[in-house]
């Protein structure tokens, strides 16, 4: 068993986590705002109304600022796979690297090609070609998300590959299986639709500020109507895709589902926790009620998890200690098989090194029997397979609560906008003013659920995070942690400053009233 510096692992985790969360401030806004700019410009081209041109250029400017910072943080994020997670890159680079390469070569260049036309082509190309370029940027932005989420979906549910004992690496056997991985598909549609929702909330925030200040009223009102319609449609799609994502989690990552529901003892006809407070000292197998207080919806978890009211949903204790009645193998059994697989693999490689092919074949046969449990062999005790329950539990319920609020908010803005009384709704505009922040909280909470919920795995069930790191000291990672923290904070401050300055200026050529 290899020696692992857990301090270095934790610092590497922390560095990657804050880099990803900084990056995700910009990504969903890019996904949503790009399409909203395309909608605004489509209205301008169809109507010829120059007010819509001014609206388009204003939101396009904010999109461009956000896009530039997002690219910078994204590049650093990808480099960290080589700097802090080189073992991960070595073991699964043949698979994980393919969608990232496609994202860079295809989707990014599609964006970049038309990006210049979109920003600098006003009055230089025809209206229709400029509109086409804007739509291509929107499509390219979302194609980038496809390949990133294919890579992440594979980490959540690894398919289309096989382990090569000769090289000790996972190799891709089916590109189609990787691309059409059901977890990746559900993750993309849910993530992209939530980005559309966030872009709409961003427009509500800025437009509400204008209405409260009595500035650029026509622009703000028109922007709100388009954003409210788009946001309302997106909210419906987010709810649908969120249900599908939860189903895929239940089928492919039952431990994550148990964590986000605070479910320790599995249940038939399991209820869904609508709200509750966890017991802080709760541990797997201790027999305590995990909740101090809770509100449950009867049977609903069984329905969401298995599409059946009467189905059994395993809890953390079932998954850790096993449940013979439900044919669930214990984690201790998986660890024992995993350690045997690791040992047989080492003996196989030693036999190969000694050119003893007969002995090598014997050990290879033994390894093959247990190789699916190899990742568990790096765990020291069954409880290590349990994520920190409180983090994904609260993040999930915050995300769902906010997701329930947003369609109501869009409907209210749309209703009063069509009635022509929006400026008189002094209670609604302050809510719109903070809606972008609430949207960001929901976005970040979703990724906390996705990533913290699958701990301790870098590749679910195959490769623990602690084995995926680079052989660095904790001090090395600490230094870069604070360097990146300072850099990203400056970038975020720069974006906010530039955006606030642009918002204060308002739409170019648009009336202030």
Q: Mean pLDDT throughout 159-183?
A: 91
For the entire predicted model, the pTM comes to 0.91
Cα-based distances in Å from 4 to 9, 82, 467: 8, 18, 8
Q: Over 60: is that where the pLDDT of 177 sits?
A: yes
What is the predicted pLDDT for the residue at 3?
60
What is the predicted pLDDT for the residue at 186?
92
Q: Which residue has the higher pLDDT, 272 or 81?
A: 272
Least confident of 41-45, 102-106, 137-141, 297-301: 102-106
Are 468 and 458 within 8 A, CB to CB? yes
The gap from C-alpha 88 to its chain's centroid, in whole angstroms, comes to: 19
Whether omega for the bond prior to residue 456 falls within 30 degrees of 0, making it cis, is yes
Are 162 and 170 within 8 A, CB to CB? yes
Q: Over 60: is that where the pLDDT of 99 sits?
A: yes
What is the predicted pLDDT for the residue at 100?
84
What is the predicted pLDDT for the residue at 2?
52
Model pLDDT for residues 195-224, shown as the tens digit of each residue: 999 999 999 999 999 999 999 999 999 999
Cα separation, 447 vs 461, in Å, equals: 19
- The mean pLDDT of the chain is 91
**How far from each other are the two terminal CA atoms of the chain, in whole angstroms?**
70
Q: Over 90: is that where the pLDDT of 58 sits?
A: yes
| Segment holding 113, helix H or strand E | helix 108-120
Q: Mean pLDDT throughout 489-505?
A: 89
Cα separation, 429 vs 208, in Å, equals: 5
Q: How confident is the model at residue 12 (pLDDT cuts 50, 70, 90)?
A: confident
Q: Mean pLDDT throughout 369-380?
A: 93
Model pLDDT for residues 301-351, shown as the tens digit of each residue: 999 999 999 999 999 999 999 999 999 999 999 999 999 999 999 999 999
Percent of the chain scoring above 90 in pLDDT? 69
- Domain map (residue ranges) of the chain: 183-260+389-467, 267-313, 331-378
Cα separation, 247 vs 307, in Å, equals: 8
Instruction: Give the 3-state DSSP-derived string for 279-348, with helices as H, strands as E and coil as C.
Output: CCCCCCCCCCCCEEEEEEECCHHHHHHHCCCCCEECCHHHHHHCEHHHCECCHHHHHHHHHHHHHHHHHH
Q: Which residue has the higher pLDDT, 228 or 3?
A: 228
Least confident of 16-20, 227-231, 291-295, 405-409: 16-20
Q: Over 80: is that where the pLDDT of 110 sits?
A: no
Q: Mean pLDDT throughout 359-377?
A: 93
Model pLDDT for residues 415-446, shown as the tens digit of each residue: 999 999 999 988 999 999 999 999 999 999 99
Cα separation, 62 vs 70, in Å, equals: 12
Residue partners of 300: CB distance under 8 A and separation at least 6: 271, 272
Q: Over 80: is that where the pLDDT of 483 sits?
A: yes
What is the predicted pLDDT for the residue at 69?
82
Q: Over 80: is that where the pLDDT of 105 sits?
A: no
- For every residue of 191-203, DSSP letters joined together read HHHHHHHHHHHHH
């Amino acid at each position: 068993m290899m020696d692992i510096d857990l301090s270095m692992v934790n610092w590497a985790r922390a560095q990657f986590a804050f880099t990803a969360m900084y990056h995700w401030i910009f990504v969903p806004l890019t996904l949503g705002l790009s399409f909203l700019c395309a909608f605004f410009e489509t209205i301008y081209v169809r109507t010829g109304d120059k007010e819509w041109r001014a609206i388009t250029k204003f939101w396009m400017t904010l999109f461009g600022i956000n896009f530039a910072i997002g690219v910078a943080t994204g590049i650093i994020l990808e480099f960290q796979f080589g700097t802090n997670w080189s073992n991960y890159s070595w073991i699964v680079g043949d698979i994980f690297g393919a969608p990232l390469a496609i994202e860079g070569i295809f989707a990014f260049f599609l964006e970049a090609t038309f990006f210049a036309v979109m920003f600098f082509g006003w009055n230089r190309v025809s209206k229709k070609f400029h509109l086409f370029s804007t739509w291509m940027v929107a499509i390219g932005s979302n194609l980038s998300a496809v390949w990133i989420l294919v890579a992440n979906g594979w980490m959540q549910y690894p398919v289309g590959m096989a382990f090569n004992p000769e090289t000790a690496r996972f190799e891709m056997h089916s590109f189609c299986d990787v691309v059409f991985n059901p977890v990746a598909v559900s993750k993309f549609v849910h993530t992209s639709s939530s980005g559309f929702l966030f872009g709409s909330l961003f427009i509500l925030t800025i437009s509400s500020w204008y209405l409260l200040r009595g500035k650029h009223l026509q622009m703000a009102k028109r922007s709100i109507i388009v954003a409210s319609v788009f946001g309302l449609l997106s909210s419906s799609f987010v709810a649908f895709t969120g249900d599908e994502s939860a189903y895929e989690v239940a089928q492919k990552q039952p431990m994550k589902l148990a964590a986000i529901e605070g479910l320790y003892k599995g249940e038939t006809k399991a209820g869904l926790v609508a709200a509750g407070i966890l017991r802080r000292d709760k541990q797997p197998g201790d027999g305590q009620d995990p909740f101090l207080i809770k509100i449950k919806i009867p049977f609903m978890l069984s329905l969401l998890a298995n599409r059946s009211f009467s189905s059994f949903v395993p809890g953390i204790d079932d998954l850790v200690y096993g449940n013979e009645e439900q044919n669930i193998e214990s984690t201790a059994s998986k660890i024992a098989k995993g350690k045997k697989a690791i040992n047989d693999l080492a003996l196989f490689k030693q036999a190969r090194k000694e050119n003893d092919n007969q002995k090598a074949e014997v050990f290879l046969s033994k390894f093959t029997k247990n190789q699916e449990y190899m990742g568990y062999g790096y765990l020291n005790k069954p409880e290590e397979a349990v994520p920190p329950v409180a983090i994904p539990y609260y993040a999930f319920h915050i995300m769902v609560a906010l997701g329930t609020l947003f369609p109501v908010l869009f409907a209210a803005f749309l209703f009063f906008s069509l009635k022509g009384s929006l400026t008189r709704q002094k209670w609604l505009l302050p809510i719109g003013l903070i809606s972008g922040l609430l949207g960001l909280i929901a976005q970040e909470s979703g990724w906390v659920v996705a990533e913290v919920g699958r701990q301790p795995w870098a590749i679910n069930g195959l490769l623990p995070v602690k084995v995926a790191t680079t052989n660095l000291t904790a001090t090395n990672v600490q230094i870069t942690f604070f360097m990146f923290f300072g850099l990203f904070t400056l970038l975020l401050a720069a974006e906010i400053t530039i955006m606030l300055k642009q918002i204060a200026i308002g739409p170019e050529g648009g009336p202030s009233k």
